[in-house]
């Protein structure tokens, strides 16, 4: 399929996906003004599960997945959703939202060492991409000005990188899985797994956590990231992967961290600094290089 033959609707779906996921980071930051990270993640997963079930019911596609799908449903629910939501919230709590979106988007960089660990062949371009990405992370963090004694900020950066790793672990599994149903059909079950895990963590590991239903920030965040981004954003993303060539879709999704930075400027007043701009450029160049390497194999 050539670019000229791609329907306009596919480009609109890509744009919608970038906007929906790009705005998530500043909205998460806003939501944390009315709830603690794990509890907010649990609320998000719960609303996403309910919304996804409702969407499939309207489409007449709500059904129990085949038994063979459950291993990957569990891995996605635990790592890509449960762990990612929690780690992302813990990270963005003490790191600027724009930078958080870039740090957590390092999934493709993590895929290179993970692929090596399971015996897959990796090209030299992928290794170059990782080197570019790591260099970008160093510039982004700006170690000469970083407050290494601020444990909250230090752990925030760590949590966001681990969020990228948790998504990569799920991606490694889904890439090797032969799907019998569409990603949209299993979404509510994956979200349900994440919700159960997160409420367990909230009640056991963070019993003093809370959500403040009297604050508008909570409902703005939950309605956006829970009801809209959960099912609608995922549906748009699935549609993009089907309508566009894989390489085009993957490179196009690099617009997500860019929009997270721009939207954080307008919604939160975060500045665009030279380390942020240069570091993000290198990180995205590294990710693009890894994507291009994978497309050639």
Give pLDDT tens digits for 183-224.
788 999 999 999 999 999 999 999 999 999 999 999 999 999
Q: Which of 19-33, 63-77, 239-253 has the lowest mean pLDDT?
A: 239-253
pLDDT at 2: 43
- For the segment 221-235, the average pLDDT, to the nearest whole number, is 88
pLDDT at 248: 79
pLDDT at 110: 94
23 vs 142: which has the higher pLDDT:
23
Axis-axis angle for helices 37-59, 84-92 (nearest 10) = 130
- For the segment 42-56, the average pLDDT, to the nearest whole number, is 94
pLDDT at 184: 81
- For the segment 230-240, the average pLDDT, to the nearest whole number, is 76
pLDDT at 242: 66
Residue 239 clears pLDDT 80, i.e. is over it: no
- High-pLDDT (> 70) share of the chain, %: 96
200: Cβ–Cβ under 8 A, 6 or more apart, which residues?
Answer: none
Q: CB pairs under 8 A, 24+ apart, for 201-209?
A: 201/38, 201/42, 201/86, 202/38, 202/39, 202/42, 205/38, 206/36, 206/38, 206/39, 209/35, 209/36, 209/37, 209/38, 209/39
8 A C-beta contact, residue 188 and residue 53: yes
Residue by residue, what is the 3-state secondary structure of the chain?
Answer: CCHHHCCHHHHHHHHHHHHHHHCHHHHHHHHCCCECHHHHHHHHHHHHHHHHHHHHHHHCCCCCCCHHHHHHHHHHHHHHHHHHHHHHHHHHCCCCHHHHHHHHCCHHHHHHHHHHHCCCCCCHHHHHHHHHHHHHHHHHHCCCCCCCCCHHHHHHHHHHHHHHHHHHHHHHHHHHCCCCCCHHHHHHHHHHHHHHHHHHHHHHHCCCCCECCCCHHHHHHHHHHHHHHHHHHHHHHHHHHHHCCHHHHHHHCCHHHHHHHHHHHHHHCCCCCHHHHHHHHHHHHHHHHHHHHHHCC
Which is nearest to 105 in space by CA: 91, 94, 123?
91
pLDDT at 5: 65
- High-pLDDT (> 90) share of the chain, %: 65
Residue 139 clears pLDDT 60, i.e. is over it: yes
- For the segment 101-117, the average pLDDT, to the nearest whole number, is 93
pLDDT at 14: 87
The pTM of this model reads: 0.92
pLDDT at 3: 42
- For the segment 27-33, the average pLDDT, to the nearest whole number, is 97
pLDDT at 97: 96
CA dist 156 and 149 (Å) reads: 13
What average pLDDT is seen over the chain? 90
């Amino acid at each position: 399929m050539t670019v000229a033959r791609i329907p306009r609707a596919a480009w609109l779906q890509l744009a919608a996906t970038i906007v929906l996921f790009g705005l998530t980071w500043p909205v998460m930051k806003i939501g944390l003004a009315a709830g603690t990270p794990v509890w907010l993640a649990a609320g998000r997963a719960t609303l996403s599960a309910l919304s996804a079930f409702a969407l499939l019911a309207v489409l007449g596609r709500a059904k129990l997945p085949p038994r063979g799908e459950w291993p990957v449903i569990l891995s996605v629910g635990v790592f890509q959703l449960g762990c990612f939501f929690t780690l992302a919230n813990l990270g963005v709590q003490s790191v600027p939202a724009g930078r958080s979106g870039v740090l957590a988007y390092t999934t493709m960089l993590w895929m290179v060492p993970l692929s090596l660990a399971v015996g897959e062949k990796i090209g030299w371009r992928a290794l170059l991409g990782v080197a570019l990405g790591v260099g970008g992370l160093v510039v982004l963090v700006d170690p000469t000005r970083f407050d290494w004694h601020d444990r909250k900020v230090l752990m925030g950066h760590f949590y966001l990188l681990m969020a990228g790793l948790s998504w990569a672990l799920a991606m490694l599994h889904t890439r090797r899985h032969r799907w019998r149903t569409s990603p949209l059909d299993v979404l509510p079950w994956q979200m349900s797994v994440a919700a159960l895990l997160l409420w367990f963590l909230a009640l056991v590991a963070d019993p003093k956590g809370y959500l403040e239903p009297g604050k508008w920030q909570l409902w703005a965040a939950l309605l956006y990231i829970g009801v809209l981004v959960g099912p609608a954003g995922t549906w748009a993303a699935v549609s993009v992967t089907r309508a566009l060539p894989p390489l085009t879709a993957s490179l196009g999704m690099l617009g997500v961290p860019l929009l997270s930075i721009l939207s954080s400027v307008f919604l939160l007043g975060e500045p665009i600094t030279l380390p942020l701009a240069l570091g993000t450029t290198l990180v995205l160049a590294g990710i693009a290089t890894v994507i291009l390497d994978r497309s050639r194999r």
